[in-house]
Amino acid sequence: MTTHEAEAEVQDADSAPAARTRTFSWEDPMIGAAVAPTMSGLDYMHAIVRGELPPPPIARMMDFTVETVEEGRVVFAVEPAEYHYNPIGMVHGGLACTLFDSAMGCAIHTTLPAGAGYTTLEIKVNFLRPLSMKTGRVLCEGKTIHVGRTTALAEARLLDAAGKLYGHATTTCMIFRGHAPARAEGQPQDG
């Protein structure tokens, strides 16, 4: 490497933008997981909103919050930030997908009795317009369409403050009824 090349590398390093950092914290997710089977889904979601149970780590990591919880309906909110961006300078679609999955799953959860759970089988997302930091705060409203014995359907809409639609999603979830409560780490298995 010539002296000129070495100087160019130093200059490029000096003119590079400063690295950004973001720090967040979360509580042990197994605290809520252990309690969840003992509560109805609606009571469980209300306990999270009231701060009696910790929110899931994914919500802390992506910086979204629960705004509304009703039976069959949950609304999440987030303000898109630079740390949500993809390599082409827009919010990564994974933020919307995570909001959709969370809002729809939690809407289904609010309809379930104690001892029941769910998991996502399928999710279909339609993006209508990109999110950016300029978009401002958005709401993701998840609502149940049908909750049966073994499967449930829900839909969600992603809207800005003016009511402009940014995306729509649907999901199919599998329902588990009467599953055993979660065990704390180190607790022996029955049988």
Give the tokens for residue 17: 């933008």
Which pLDDT score is estimated for 87?
Answer: 95
Give CA–CA dist 51/33, Å, rounded.
15
Q: Which run of H or E residues covers position 49?
A: helix 41-49
Mean pLDDT of the 89-102 span: 97
pTM of the model: 0.84
**Residue 12 — pLDDT band, cuts 50, 70, 90?**
low
Inform me whether the pLDDT recorded for 181 exceeds 50. Answer: no
Domains and CATH numbers, the chain: 27-176 (3.10.129.10)
Span 113-138, mean pLDDT?
97
pLDDT digits (tens, 9 = 90+) for 133-155: 999 999 999 999 999 999 999 99
